[in-house]
């Protein structure tokens, strides 16, 4: 597997486009991704009980288990908490896309992101779809335009393309994502779309994404909010012409590894672009009784506002980490806990087997001045481990979200 230059339309048979149609004041706000051939797909949706109309539309398509051909995404308006009209507008987006691309509405995934509780300017969007559909292509610029069009408060595009050889054929996987705030485990406020030309059964594709999601998207946190619109989806159209992957053989594991890399990269890029973030935090925990315990402990540390503010203030207040672990409801022995900070190629031990270690405050401060900080935790309870990613909590985060609608 290796990373290559490309965009969401790099895999064989995929086309894309994105442009500004006026939902937002300036930035691109409408994207389309299209597969020439019907594609099997996998998806994960927000766990928030309040689900936006596009999520509900997509969940019905998911349950039908039929292949799809397209994705249409608008940014600037979430089409969430918009009642019957929201559902009708989602169907209109799917129908307009299907008509323009000569497929069926049930073959179109719909996504919206932006302000909650405001009806879509649906006529503007459907007119924009008819124009944008004519511009879809396999040119890299068109794919990058699509990636830009799904952004809201993001400051950077989040894209990646990898290639791997399966059954003597080159298989390509490309991903694009958006997400900056309302990021929390169990699907954050993020959209992530992945295309691949691999030939794989839908059941195996769904199994792969479900397992990968546990250790990527569900292990990130920016601010503890879970959005109404989150989704991750993967389309696979089989146009790489590799021998079909229908069981968990070596080809499946090779594809799984590449797909994991794509999703982990996108998840980490979302956190690095966290609203107002000045620190990128990686928490690694080893020696837990179970994987569930390990994940719970890591998430509790990442979502603690006291830990996040300590990182922003570059304060080695490690007691906040142990405190967050203590209320995580995970089963662990505090007396077997060891803890260290790492950054800039340097490490400092703060706690060893449940006992505090005298340390140089100035040296610790120097480590915490780095942008990328690792919090390494070791337990003596078992063999399970987990890693998660988050960021600090800054003044800028409050400013961005206090002025979001304005």
Catalytic positions? 189
In 3D space, the residue among 42, 40, 389, 388 whose CA is nearest the CA of residue 210 turns out to be: 42
At 245, list the tokens: 């992957």
Residues 6+ away with beta carbon under 8 Å from 224 = 184, 303, 305
- Between CA 97 and CA 100 the distance in angstroms is 5
Phi, psi of 217 (to 5 degrees): -60, -35
In 3D space, the residue among 255, 281, 266 whose CA is nearest the CA of residue 233 turns out to be: 266
Cα pseudo-dihedral 136, 137, 140, 145, rounded to 10: -10
Note the Cα 59 to chain centre separation in Å: 18
3-state secondary structure of 317: coil
> Could you tell me the CA-to-CA distances from 336 to 326, 327, 332, 354 in Å, in that order?
13, 17, 8, 5
Cα pseudo-dihedral 73, 78, 81, 87, rounded to 10: -20
In 3D space, the residue among 54, 16, 46, 66 whose CA is nearest the CA of residue 195 turns out to be: 16
Q: What is the CA radius of gyration of the chain?
A: 22
At 326, list the tokens: 């203590």
Q: Give the helix/strand (H/E) hosting 250.
A: helix 250-272
């Amino acid at each position: 597997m290796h990373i290559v230059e490309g965009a969401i339309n790099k895999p064989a048979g995929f086309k894309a486009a994105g442009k500004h149609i006026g939902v937002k004041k300036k930035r691109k706000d409408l994207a389309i991704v299209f597969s020439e051939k019907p594609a099997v797909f996998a998806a994960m949706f927000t766990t928030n009980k309040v689900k936006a109309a596009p999520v509900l539309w997509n969940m019905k398509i998911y349950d039908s288990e039929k292949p799809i051909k397209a994705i249409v995404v608008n940014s600037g308006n979430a089409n969430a908490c918009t009642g019957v009209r929201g559902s009708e507008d989602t169907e209109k987006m799917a129908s307009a896309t299907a008509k323009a691309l000569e497929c069926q509405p049930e073959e179109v995934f719909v996504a919206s992101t932006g302000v909650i509780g405001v009806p879509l300017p649906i006529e503007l969007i459907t007119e924009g779809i008819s124009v944008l559909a004519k511009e879809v292509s396999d040119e890299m610029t068109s794919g990058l335009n699509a990636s830009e069009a799904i952004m809201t408060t993001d400051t950077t595009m989040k894209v990646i393309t990898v290639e791997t050889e399966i059954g003597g054929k080159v298989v390509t996987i490309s991903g694009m994502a958006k997400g900056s705030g309302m990021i929390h485990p169990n699907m954050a406020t993020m959209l992530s779309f992945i295309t691949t030309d691999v030939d794989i059964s839908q059941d195996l594709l769904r199994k792969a994404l479900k397992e990968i999601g546990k250790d990527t998207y569900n292990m990130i946190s920016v601010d503890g909010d879970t959005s109404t619109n989150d989704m991750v989806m993967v389309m696979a159209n089989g146009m790489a012409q590799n021998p079909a992957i229908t069981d968990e053989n070596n080809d499946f594991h090779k594809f799984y590894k590449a797909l994991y890399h794509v999703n982990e990269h996108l998840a980490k890029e979302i956190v690095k672009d966290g609203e107002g973030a000045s620190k990128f935090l990686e928490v690694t925990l080893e020696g837990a009784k179970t994987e569930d315990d390990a994940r719970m402990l890591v998430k509790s540390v990442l979502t603690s506002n006291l830990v996040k503010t300590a990182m922003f203030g570059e304060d080695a207040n490690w007691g906040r980490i142990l405190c967050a672990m203590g209320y995580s409801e995970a089963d662990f022995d505090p007396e077997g806990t060891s803890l260290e900070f790492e950054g800039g190629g340097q490490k400092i031990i703060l706690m060893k087997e449940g006992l505090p270690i005298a340390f140089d405050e100035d040296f610790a401060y120097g480590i915490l001045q780095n942008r990328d900080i690792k919090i390494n935790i070791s337990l003596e309870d078992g063999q399970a481990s987990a890693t998660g990613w988050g960021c600090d909590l800054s003044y800028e985060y409050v400013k961005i979200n206090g002025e979001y609608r304005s």
